Amino acid sequence: MTLIRRPGAAAVTLLFLLMGAAFLTQVVPYRQIIETQREVATARAELKSLESENAELGADVAALQTDAEIERLAREKLGYVRPGEKAYVVLDPPGTQDHEPAEPAPAPLEKTWVENIWEFVTGADLSR
């Protein structure tokens, strides 16, 4: 039978092992909760966007039931004119198209190991 010569060191080691195990068992579920909350928020935003788009499309469908809207679209999109009217088309001169150069994306900043661990714990790395 062996005696523990340093009971304080054994207790500290055991404490660190227990804290490490507790940390590992709590980080994964916490990350899953954070990820699920983000997915729910994204789904709600998408639902709101789709509902507003659906309302706009419903208004368009209702407007297409009128003769005035059909005539407006025929004139605007197809260039239709009534007998006796004259249609004019105005074109831009060649070479005057707007081409703006795209700005390059900023280079990502290097993060410290502490920031990387914090992002892992909070689930911020899942959003990328």
Give the whole-angstrom CA distance, residue 96 versus residue 91: 11
Single-letter code of the amino acid located at 7: P
DSSP secondary structure code for residue 124 in this structure: G
Give the whole-angstrom CA distance, residue 73 versus residue 78: 7
Q: What is the pLDDT of residues 12-46, one digit of tens each?
A: 889 989 988 888 787 778 888 888 999 999 999 99
The string over 64-88, giving b where at least 16 C-beta atoms fall within 10 Å of a residue's C-beta and e elsewhere, is eeeeeeeeeeeeeeeeeeeeeeeee
How does pLDDT run along the chain (128 residues), one tens digit per residue?
455 677 788 888 899 899 888 887 877 788 888 889 999 999 999 999 999 999 999 998 998 899 998 899 888 888 888 899 888 888 888 877 666 666 777 777 788 888 888 888 887 777 65
**Mean of the per-residue pLDDT values for the chain?**
84
Please name the residues in contact with 34: beta carbons below 8 A apart, sequence gap of 6 or more: 122, 123, 126
Alpha helices in 64-126 (DSSP H): 67-78, 113-122
Alpha helices in 64-86 (DSSP H): 67-78
